Amino acid sequence: MSGQNWFPTLNDALAAEGLVDRWPLGLNIAYGQTVSLASGGRWISVYRDTEGRYERPVHYATLIPDTHTGGWERGVDTGNESVHDNGVGDSQ
């Protein structure tokens, strides 16, 4: 594991922890937002700062079934994933 903790793209951040294949296609993260979900036996949490950089994902094993089943829209918590606005940016 390298010492890098911030990445210019979501894909780069996920790749740093081997999580690209576990992230739902089309699930984006707004500026100043944290998105957390269960996928493939992992609980994954990713934060995007107000400058657009992505923090290295935090993840660990979980028995929770996959929580993202689609229907996610920016800034809307469908109950299938945990979306946090962190009080920054424009959540809808």
Model confidence, pTM: 0.73
DSSP 57: P
- Both tokens of residue 15? 């790749």
The Cα 11–Cα 44 span in angstroms is: 14
Q: What is the pLDDT of residue 3?
A: 77
Q: What is the pLDDT of residue 68?
A: 82
- 36-89 pLDDT, tens digit each: 999 999 999 999 999 999 999 999 999 999 998 765 444 444 444 455 555 444
Q: Which of 18, 22, 26 lies closest to 56 in space, CA to CA?
A: 18
Cite the DSSP H helix spans in the chain: 10-16
DSSP 73: B
